Structure 1
């Protein structure tokens, strides 16, 4: 059963669980930060995602991601990076006191640290957001109930030189496939928001040790 993660009690539980890690990781140097926006769409708890522009350079163009980007030297910390990038990419201004805390950091393929920042952004209509067309092709939300349904969950087994190496989660049957680090961060979020309702995948690389 999905707990009421949007209630004041649910928020305080998450803030408490994330508190120590947030205090330790907030000012730690990182390559990038993303915002994991927990929202309510027509009263239904959901996570907000972006579809990266197909015009961007690099291997991740056209992928589903959370809003975010590289840390700028002028940013105060990773929370500031996540909030700044979110406003630049999707036009969503999130007050700093809406941040619940920092989830477990992950590493990209170049071993750069990516820090996920969880925030409650309240009720919204994804279609009303003014996304930056140079960076984002689409903004959409996936209900937590959708993400928690077993039939919408999958796993990708990665191999190197013909040998099995690791497994990563994939979330299916939404408007776009959620995979890669975005799926890993989604998994972390579901474990926090709905303890006992989500069975995590096997161990995979790219996790930062706390």
Structure 2
């Protein structure tokens, strides 16, 4: 009787862990299938993404002296996977050199819109022509010290970053991080700042992504694949309630 009892218990425990394993594998399969290009690039998902982007409130404080800038967040296909195209800023630059960013810059007088700025800067940095970019939507205006930045989400099709003609005066390197890596909880971390807020950090690509670029990535991923991207920022109010970000903020060490 004792043997039967323990055998039954062991069988029950074994079945429990087997079911849990099946559930985990099913979730992985479901998540991976949700990242298929045909699903993400569908008209239905595009409309949902645009709607989600409009939910985020502005994270900026505008004044007459505040400069305006825009960046393109390039959604692309690389190695049969969807990902985001990033740049590593040139070490020749005076500010933020050697940091990961999206192509973009200060809005010129000739630019009629933030989209114009993002497309112009993308051409100057990576020689990606504007007719190759399918603009989806703007995101939310994000404030930095003396400048407000508008992220523009656009799809640029198939990309091999090694074949891009980068401007060496502005860009050291271009690289792609897959959506799968950006959604991986093991590759998502956060930085705690002294004035009581956190920002996301991504470790799954070739280089560490943090700061403003990580915040923009977080906003885009929340809108683009909300059912798969589950990264949350601890110890804080929701991302849309964050106050403006300044270059004077220092992370805790």
Matched, 1:69 2:105: yes
Judged with a 3 Å threshold, the aligned counterparts in structure 2 of structure 1 residues 120 and 113 are, in CA distance, closer, same or farther, namely same
Q: TM-score, normalised by structure 1?
A: 0.85
Judged with a 3 Å threshold, the aligned counterparts in structure 2 of structure 1 residues 96 and 126 are, in CA distance, closer, same or farther, namely closer
Residues 120-150 of structure 1, C-alpha deviation per residue, up to 9 Å, x if partnerless?
Answer: 1111111111000000000000000000000
Q: Aligned partners of 1:30 and 1:36: how far apart in 2? A: 20
CA contact (8 A) 1:158 1:167 kept: yes
The alpha carbon displacement at 1:18 in A equals 4.7
Superposition CA RMSD, Å: 2.1
Runs of 4+ with >4 A deviation: 16-21
CA contact (8 A) 1:39 1:124 kept: yes
1:90 is aligned to 126
Residues 105-132 of structure 1, C-alpha deviation per residue, up to 9 Å, x if partnerless?
Answer: 2111x14210000001111111111000
2:12 is aligned to none
**Among residues 128, 141, 144, which one is paired with 1:105 in the alignment?**
141
The alpha carbon displacement at 1:157 in A equals 0.6
CA contact (8 A) 2:137 2:154 kept: yes
**Among residues 185, 191, 197, which one is paired with 1:166 in the alignment?**
197
Residues 32-76 of structure 1, C-alpha deviation per residue, up to 9 Å, x if partnerless?
Answer: 000000001021010000000011002x11100000000001101
Give the strand-richer structure, 1 or 2. 1
Structure 2 SS opposite 1:31: strand
The alpha carbon displacement at 1:97 in A equals 7.0
Q: Aligned partners of 2:55 and 2:189: how far apart in 1? A: 31
Judged with a 3 Å threshold, the aligned counterparts in structure 2 of structure 1 residues 19 and 189 are, in CA distance, closer, same or farther, namely closer
Matched, 1:32 2:69: yes
1:193 is aligned to 224
Report 1:7-18 matches (<5 A).
7-18=42-53
Judged with a 3 Å threshold, the aligned counterparts in structure 2 of structure 1 residues 169 and 97 are, in CA distance, closer, same or farther, namely closer
Q: Aligned partners of 1:150 and 1:17: how far apart in 2? A: 21
Matched, 1:133 2:173: no
Q: Aligned partners of 1:43 and 1:190: how far apart in 2? A: 19
CA contact (8 A) 1:53 1:62 kept: yes
Q: TM-score, normalised by structure 2?
A: 0.71
Give the helix-richer structure, 1 or 2. 2
Matched, 1:156 2:185: no
The total of aligned residue pairs comes to 194
1:205 is aligned to 243
2:89 is aligned to 52
Q: Structure 2 regions of 5+ residues with no counterpart?
A: 1-30, 57-65, 246-253
The alpha carbon displacement at 1:15 in A equals 3.7
